[in-house]
Chains A and B, each alone.
Chain A
């Protein structure tokens, strides 16, 4: 046996999406004393998805505020505090619960600048979990971010990567207008290399991103569906189909240029959206492609969405309701006039 040992493999520091969100909050709290966090169980419990663990001990109860279970009021209080010079981060446990605060968000945060004739801005950030995959059934699993993307006056973000989870919060807090950040529940445990400072600093909240280059079809998606869409692109590659993947990142205002340029180059588009099909964000994207790139298309725009059913509990039913890699592959092949592989 040789005495020589293998040299150690250089280790890149790894982290999780959850830690990236936490680091983003810590960083914002440290950088700006107007920033504070409030929401249900963000303090003593550490966040229902453990995102805010340790922050109460580090920043104290004045800046990490556990609220009563009163979504409408603590969201409205975020609006009031934002109107009065603070930079609040409001955490709502899930998008389903945000419906209890929808009045404050839609009738309040989104309208005040306009109704006041430009006198009052609302620099509020609201974070919430969205999406299915944890068998949490029909009151904790929906993807309703498309509803908020309907509303003028709001900016809607869907960080799908560790870098975006780490980098989007600060520019969101710098935005003078209300910003909603949707964190997909299946991403919290995602691991990867720790984003470096320069990469984090370069994160914007205006553009879509090309996550994979391709020439035959553009797969357009966001948030929790990015992983499956990239998997589908890999599967298509084995089949000789070159798929481009666009991550929308910003659901309002939409970065049309990036989407349309991908569609014009590939001449085919599949929109992958975890929301329901009817009246969805995927419908909006499809319509904009038809409006502006119809003559560049070689096939009708295809869509892969969740089944139109309240999300069921049982694992096999839940998975059957969600857009699958196979369904995305199938839809992409369909735009090329190909049947099942």
Chain B
């Protein structure tokens, strides 16, 4: 990993690179990667329908950030949020069943890939309106602040959201009220198929956050330890009462935007270049070099992930569909109301 992250980070952001912790990071990265690959297969088999947005290439962002969060913290995510659910603790079974649209999915089959929710793990969705999650995160943090609860709301969004009005409104309001929000920009350089340079007059997103009075930094989003160290710095500052914090994670999406994307907007060479920075082999190589990973460790990990994944697929296959008779459930809390 990068040299600076092995040093104690200022403000308590130190990552303890113990064997156990590194293995936990690797395990989550593998779980997300293998899950996403399997979803792509299941999509071609028409087991999963609708829009499917995969996270390959961006795993280090969620895994690194979540390593810095506590169970009491809240997460708001986008429509590319399988990783947040899996890493925060939603079972792979419940996430896969949701992909299939089954009743035992984490949203009861009513949300699908873009709308994963989990009350127990404080996952407030999968929001498929770009920028729409930011105000909600501000409100979650407002409630925590008003009740004096020590919780951080981690709000994930893409570079595309930084062009939305709600980005500016939310950063301003969170800073004005000094709310405990960690704004996490997953900058993968493309808002669907439009490159950052075609939609932002100034592509320096951290500078934009800084202009609202937020501490802001950019980090290599392909380096899980760098992300975790930065997230720890941010969370420590937020918990100390410094107000919101902005972290831009520079990353890259290896797969298409969704399963309907022919990727006419980017060169193969560019994708190729980024795959050399793939966060997964990067972590594996580093762990090997540092003596933290042996071939049989990796194999055992891969086997465990494969077992978990196949169990989740079998569970989703066998799971029940929500009966059509309950179509209008959960429109209002009073079930008999139209």
Contacts and interface: CB of A to CB of B under 8 A. Distances in A.
B140 A73 contact: no
Contact of B142 (A80, A103, A115, A175): A80
**A74, A116, A118 pick with most chain B CB within 10 angstroms:** A116
A117 B173 contact: no
A72 B165 contact: yes
Nearest to B138: A77
Nearest to A80: B139
Contacts of A120: 117, 119, 124-125
Interface in A64-115: 65, 67-68, 70, 72-86, 88, 103-104, 107-108, 112-115
A109 to B, nearest CB: 10
Contacts of B330: 113-114, 116-118
B289 interface: no
Contacts of B170: 73, 76
Interface in A303-334: none
A118 B142 contact: no
A239 B170 CA distance: 59
A176 interface: yes
B331 A36 contact: no
B119 A119 contact: yes
Contact of A114 (B106, B110, B172, B338): B110
A104 B134 CA distance: 11
Contact of A107 (B108, B132, B177, B331): B132
Contacts of B163: none
B107 interface: yes
Interface string B83-123: 00000000000000000000001111111000101110000
B333 interface: yes
**A75, A77, A79, A88 pick with most chain B CB within 10 angstroms:** A77
By size class, the interface of chain A is 35 or more
Contacts of B68: none
A261 B164 CA distance: 49
A152 B143 contact: no
Contacts of B338: 152, 253
A118 to B, nearest CB: 4
A177 interface: yes
Contacts of A253: 337-338
The B interface, classified by DSSP as helix, strand, loop or mixed, is mixed
Contacts of B332: 113, 152-153, 155, 177
Interface string A115-136: 1111111000000000000000
A257 interface: no
Given A76-B135, A76-B138, A116-B115, A85 B147 contact: yes
A85 to B, nearest CB: 6
Given A68-B172, A84-B74, A117 B108 contact: yes
A125 B117 CA distance: 23
A62 interface: yes
Interface string B124-145: 1111010010111111111110
A73 B108 contact: no
Given A114-B110, A117-B111, A85 B165 contact: no
A79 B136 contact: yes
B110 A115 contact: yes
Nearest to B120: A119
A36 B115 CA distance: 29
B144 A68 contact: no
B107 A116 contact: yes
A36 B146 CA distance: 10
Given A80-B143, A85-B143, A74 B135 contact: yes
B176 interface: yes
Contact of B106 (A77, A79, A108, A117): A117
B303 interface: no
**A72, A84, A253 pick with most chain B CB within 10 angstroms:** A84
| Chain A to chain B: the 10 pairs with minimum beta-carbon distance, closest first | A80-B139, A76-B135, A117-B108, A84-B143, A77-B139, A73-B169, A116-B117, A70-B169, A80-B136, A80-B140
Interface of B: 74, 76, 105-111, 115, 117-119, 124-127, 129, 132, 134-144, 146-147, 153, 165-166, 169-170, 172-173, 176-177, 329-333, 337-338
11 contacts: A70-B165, A72-B135, A72-B169, A73-B170, A75-B135, A77-B138, A84-B144, A116-B115, A176-B333, A177-B332, A253-B337
Interface of A: 36, 62, 65, 67-68, 70, 72-86, 88, 103-104, 107-108, 112-121, 152-153, 155, 175-177, 253
